[in-house]
Amino acid sequence: MKQQINTHAIILRRTDYGEADRILTLLTPDHGKLSLIAKGVRRSKSKLAGGIELFSVSEISFIHGRSEIGTLISTRLIRYYANIVSDVNRTMLGYDLIRILHKATEDEPDPEYFELLEQGFGALDDLTIDLRLIRVWFTMQLLRLDGHSPNLEQDSDGAKLSADARYTFSFDDMAFAGHPEGQFGADDIKFLRVGFAGNRAEIMQKITGLETLLDASTPLLQTMAQTYIRS
């Protein structure tokens, strides 16, 4: 008899299969990504349906199959982030976070990626947190987990970053370069330090001058993501 395995999971993708089944791609903290078939889940009385909602964390039981697709045995909803689906912009960003993380990770990602998506859902569920901040924060965490954090202590010449200087950014060196008319200053670098240190979006929301800092950091981080994150 095959061993039944219990874990927590977040749905990354749901694909209808046959008359009543679905193939699910799930992210777990201890078994990487899973492909599981949820048999009969599209029927109205299915006991599996309540535990495979998008934008939620569930406890699941499954068994491995002979192929790459296992079988979902049971589900229990742990937390559903209902506020995400109450606002269309939060819903769309939620889909983006799922898509980006799914494409950016291998089949056996570290547990930190599960934690990142869970924290991302928590930030989206908090209606006080700026959506632009959530996107920027999420990008910083992906870069950090993938080992592509910029140098936020020294400039491209190896000198310590100065609070009084202005900088441009060198993508070749992943570091700031001194320039008298550079667009980045001490506040921008401090903002990036807070994000790349792994702080949650809730903490970054409290930073003074957030709108201006997001204006400066967003295109910078978008270019980093295009360069280093798989898409």
Residue 204 inside a domain? The answer is: yes
Number of folded domains in the chain?
A: 2
Residue 120 inside a domain? The answer is: no
Do 142 and 206 share a domain, yes or no? yes
Do 70 and 157 share a domain, yes or no? no
How long a stretch of residues is the chain?
231
Domain around 213: 128-228
pLDDT score for 147:
95
- DSSP letters spanning 177-213: EE-TT-SB-HHHHHHHHHHHTT--HHHHTTSTTHHHH
Residue 71 inside a domain? The answer is: yes
pLDDT score for 1:
59
CATH number of the structural domain spanning residue 40: 2.40.50.140
pLDDT score for 67:
82
pLDDT score for 66:
81
Token code pair at residue 19: 């008359």
**Residues of the chain below pLDDT 70:** 1
For residue range 60-73, list pLDDT tens digits in order.
999 998 888 999 99
Whole-model pTM: value is 0.94
pLDDT score for 2:
77
Residue 116 inside a domain? The answer is: no
Q: Which residues are registered as beta bridge partners of 69?
A: 35
What's the CA gap between 134 and 168, in Å, rounded?
24
Do 205 and 146 share a domain, yes or no? yes
Residue 93 inside a domain? The answer is: no
Last residue of one domain, picked from the residues 64, 82, 100: 82
Last residue of one domain, picked from the residues 82, 116, 139: 82
For residue range 74-109, list pLDDT tens digits in order.
999 999 999 999 999 999 999 999 999 999 998 889
Last residue of one domain, picked from the residues 82, 99, 119: 82
Token code pair at residue 214: 């997001």
Report, in this order, helix, strand and coil percent for the chain, each rounded to 5: 40, 25, 35
3-class state of residue 49 by DSSP = helix
Residue 105 inside a domain? The answer is: no
Contact 54, 14 (CB under 8 A): yes
